[in-house]
Structure 1
Amino acid sequence: MQPDGSVQALTLIVFIGSVFSPYYAWARRRLGDDGAPAQAHCAINVSLYQRAPGDGGFSRLWTMTERGQETLARDGLHLSIGPSSLQWLPDGSLQIDLDEWTVPFPQRVRGRITVRPGAMPGWAFALDPGGLHHWQPIAPASRVEVDLASPRRRWQGEAYLDANHGSRPLARDFLSWQWQRTTRHDGRTTLLYDVVPRCGASEALALSIDTDGRLSVQPPPPRQPLPRSGWRVERHTLGLAPPQLLATLESGPFYCRSLLREGDSGALAMHESLSLQRFDQHWVQALLPFRMPRRRGGSLAVQAARSR
């Protein structure tokens, strides 16, 4: 919430081996997992949300242009994909230079985002018994400064930084998952991950992270149902009381992102539902190029300090 009463939110995901890419899925089908290198399917996904004072809904902008291996450059401190880049600075902040275009209606998204990480717990968690897929909440309680030239938006707020990595496609091992992040009134961050594997029982993970980075694993609370999305994607969360669904920020044939108010604490929570079973359907992948275009070639130039 901004001082003028508006609500601004941003989600940025960097993919090397874009797990939600139809082009990557088609390449793996044709060439096998080993014949389809992850580096050939890279993208920076930006989702911008804004609700003006008094408005009932959010405006949305979306970018997710996939690019090939020739546009990728990276080392221990820097990563660039096409004209956009991320880099760790000496003061510990993460800066991202964005220069992307929205779809389906072209609009430039260009500017700087700076993430100033809070405490880093340093823990990573396997999402499957075989340890093929991992998730790490890198800096659950951080600050962000958004300074975009196009569209013109400038604001500051709380931020969250995490990473996922794996050694084979998600759809081979999972049917779905539900994820939620909540910032408590006392500054703690709580994280929920409820994973449904293709084989075996569901696994739920509940974490509480203090402002100083101390992490504790909690007993998962009971499931609480949420309404299905407009695409009929099943979604639920974990909690001691039924939550309030405030807004569906993103809705697609296999994924939705929601804003909740927890039923027990009243705290705001960001929630994500992913159906990999739905993503694996050919009809769904045929729809995705309209939201995820692929571009060949692109600049490898690193512009000075802009940000995530």
Structure 2
Amino acid sequence: MDSLARRLPPMNALIAFEAVVRCGTITAAARELGTSQPAVSQRLRSLETHLGSPLFQRSGRLLKPTPQAQRYCETVAQALHSIAGASEDMKPGRQARPPIVISAPFGFAHLWLEPLLPSMEVAFPERDFIIRAEDDPRVNPQRRPDMEVRFGRHERSGSALRFLFHEAAQPVCSPAFATRHGLVPDDLLAPERLRELPLLHLDEQESRWCDWPLWFQAQGIEDFEADVRLYYNNYPLLQQAALEGKGIALGWRGLVDPLLQEGRLVTCGQAFTRSGRGYGLVLHNLSSRPARQVADWIAEQAIPLADRLPQQGSEGL
């Protein structure tokens, strides 16, 4: 039986390969590794020789890994980070319980992640957590989070990404609001009726989020113009306004589901869905085995949501 040493490629070749895939060019990888371009090129050739397969295709100045090499790189990167993390844990004087920092948008942190924290503490009793509610972690001067929840387009899960659930925005209101305006709870109103009612708006200029104009466009109404006197600058405030009966909000399914199940909110319009877009958990600290375990656990909690998200509505806009 071949020894492990004979089966494994040279470690410096694997490190160079991972760096080139991540950085996109040999020049950038050499700069990161503190070595020369010829040295990185030689390491790539030695790895291709060991594997008996080409690893890259050139696209201008960039090196694009072949599909097989891309999958190989994900496995290599995870293994290298595991070795790095285990090596760090062996060092004398290392902090025994470094807190795991999780960054998430305000609405996600308040409505989905916070109720999950008691179960997370039970699942990981030896770990401490720091939850940072922030829509853009890059503006935070604190340390980079171990993982962050991002809303947007996510192509596929991988070693650094756990897809949580797809975007599904649906009009919701309080039962008191429904009664006051003669609505039947959970009756899906025609968009022409909805546009006549008070609508709650988020002060969010980024196109990644579904807003009322986009929702109405998906329902076939192109001429919707919002008559807005008050904007809410974060999603928890807007959701609270809906709970207080001030109007109809776009509720992100997965986030407002507990409020719907408790009867504190009711649906009143079609769901707007876009598969491939939604919430994803990006793992920055791949070298931390506890961080990877926590990320996997969070992703597992989101799996049942796929069965509960509504199937009606528009797709692919």
* TM-score category, normalised to shorter length: under 0.3
Larger Rg: 2
TM-score, length of structure 1 as denominator length:
0.22
- Flag the structure with higher helix content: 2
Higher RCO (CA-CA < 8 Å; seq separation 6+): 2
More strand by proportion, 1 or 2?
Answer: 1
**TM-score between both structures, scaled by the size of structure 2:** 0.22
